[in-house]
């Protein structure tokens, strides 16, 4: 699996034609030159997969599947339903393929998953715009909406159990209902994936809290023991697509080192400016010199030095600095706590990818 940018146009540009068939028991087999008919479950999870106002299937998964369908002579029928209903359809073999799904041990008992990661996401807690919730402990005794059978709800319940936090969970069949309840003041927070949550922020009076947790991989899935020819083709296509966006271990570490300067500058603004203004950072617009360092140890020493500077600067912050709110075009609220939350999560994600690259056999990269 490779690090890549989730961009619709790049999906179309980098998908390659790989034609082969796997005639295995329970596979869907094409007769002669007739199209292979596949029923695909989708639900409202914009922009990853969703149904638009005209009833058309849209999103990252849809673009990907449509391109593969052209190459492989597939006839795809998209079945729109709730997440829970489509999961049940998959169990009953009423659909051949499920989109936007994460692996769990329980699901593995009745589902076969693809191997190639489509997208990496994480759970995000959303709150009302006037809410003062800042960390997971603030949720003790409150009402939180989760998606029925959704991976983020499952992970969040386990997280609360580990911290002995007592929450009244309200279970809904879609993310929109959770956002509505928070907007109406009938729930204190809702748990959504970070990507779909960004879309719902535009439609409802909700905002990100600093609480984010459990990154996970989005995959495809089929009923257990069936249609593995579909998964094999999708994995091959995805693997070919990702080749041009591969980040080596060294590039991940260089990126980590580079970002520390940006974080230091932001913390410095909070310390020295009454009304800090933060410039958004977009990696694709900032080219990094990957030949700046001779060895990995040089990069790690630089990273360590920068992190120590950050810690010393944080120690100098006053309560008034910590309570400041900065202007940031990407966020409705932006403060020191959010910076540190993002910093730790960002570093964790890249360290996870470094470990994955280090441990994975070359033929599976």
Give the pLDDT of residue 119: 83
Which residue is listed with tokens 């403060």?
335
Pick from 109, 83, 106, 108: which is nearest to 95 by CA?
83
Give the pLDDT of residue 230: 94
What tens digit of pLDDT does each residue of 92-105 get? 999 999 999 999 99
**CATH topology of 121-215 equal to that of 249-364?**
no
Give the list of residues 6+ apart from residue 167 with CB closer than 8 angstroms, or none: 139, 140, 141, 142, 143, 144, 160
The two three-digit tokens of residue 248, written as one number = 């080596």
Q: Which fold has domain 8-120+217-245?
A: D-Maltodextrin-Binding Protein; domain 2 (3.40.190)
Map out the domains of the chain as residue ranges: 8-120+217-245, 121-215, 249-364
Q: Is the peptide bond before 260 cis (omega within 30 degrees of 0)?
A: no
Strands (DSSP E) contained in 224-350 are 277-278, 327-328
Global pTM value: 0.59
The two three-digit tokens of residue 41, written as one number = 């479950």
Which residue is listed with tokens 């535009």?
202
CATH number of 121-215: 3.40.190.10
Give the pLDDT of residue 205: 96
CATH number of 249-364: 1.20.120.450
State the Cα–Cα distance between residues 266 and 251, nearest whole angstrom: 23
Give the pLDDT of residue 246: 65
Angle formed by the axes of helices 249-272 and 336-359, nearest 10°: 170
The two three-digit tokens of residue 329, written as one number = 């075009």
What tens digit of pLDDT does each residue of 98-138 get? 999 999 999 999 999 999 888 888 999 999 999 999 999 99
Give the pLDDT of residue 33: 67
Along the chain (365 residues), what's the average pLDDT of each consecutive run of 10 residues? Answer: 38 30 39 81 92 88 90 94 95 95 93 90 94 94 96 95 95 96 97 92 93 91 93 88 70 90 94 92 73 83 92 93 89 85 80 76 53
State the Cα–Cα distance between residues 144 and 191, nearest whole angstrom: 7
């Amino acid at each position: 699996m490779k690090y890549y940018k989730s961009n619709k146009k790049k999906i179309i540009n980098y998908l390659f034609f790989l034609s082969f068939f796997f005639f295995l028991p329970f596979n869907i087999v094409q007769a002669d030159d007739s199209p292979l008919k596949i029923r695909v479950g989708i639900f409202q999870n914009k922009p990853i997969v969703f149904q638009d106002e005209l009833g058309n299937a849209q999103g990252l998964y849809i673009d990907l599947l449509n391109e593969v369908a052209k190459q492989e002579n597939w006839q795809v029928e998209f079945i729109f339903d709730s997440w829970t209903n489509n999961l049940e359809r998959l169990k009953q073999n009423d659909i051949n393929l499920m989109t936007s799904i994460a692996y769990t041990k329980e699901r593995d008992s009745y589902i076969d998953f693809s191997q190639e990661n489509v997208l990496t996401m994480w759970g995000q807690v959303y709150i009302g715009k006037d809410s003062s919730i800042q960390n997971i402990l603030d949720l003790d005794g409150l009402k939180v909406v989760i998606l029925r059978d959704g991976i983020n709800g499952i992970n969040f319940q386990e997280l609360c159990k580990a911290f002995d936090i007592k929450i009244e969970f309200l279970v809904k069949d879609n993310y929109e209902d959770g956002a509505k309840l928070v907007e109406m003041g009938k729930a204190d927070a809702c748990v959504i994936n970070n990507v779909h949550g960004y879309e719902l922020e535009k439609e409802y009076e909700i905002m990100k809290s600093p609480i984010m947790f459990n990154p996970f991989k989005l995959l495809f899935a089929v009923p257990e023991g069936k249609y593995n020819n579909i998964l094999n083709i999708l994995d091959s296509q995805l693997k070919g697509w990702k080749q041009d966006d591969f980040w080596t271990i060294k590039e991940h570490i260089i990126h980590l080192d580079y970002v520390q300067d940006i974080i230091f500058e932001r913390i410095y603004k909070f310390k020295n400016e009454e009304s800090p203004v933060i410039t958004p950072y977009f990696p694709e617009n900032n080219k990094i010199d990957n030949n700046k360092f001779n060895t990995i140890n040089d990069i790690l020493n630089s990273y360590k030095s920068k992190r120590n500077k950050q810690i010393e600067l944080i120690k100098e912050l006053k309560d008034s600095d910590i309570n400041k709110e900065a202007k940031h075009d990407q966020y409705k609220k932006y403060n020191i706590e959010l910076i540190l939350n993002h910093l730790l999560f960002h570093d964790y994600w890249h360290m996870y990818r470094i470990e994955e690259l280090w441990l994975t056999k070359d033929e599976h990269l």
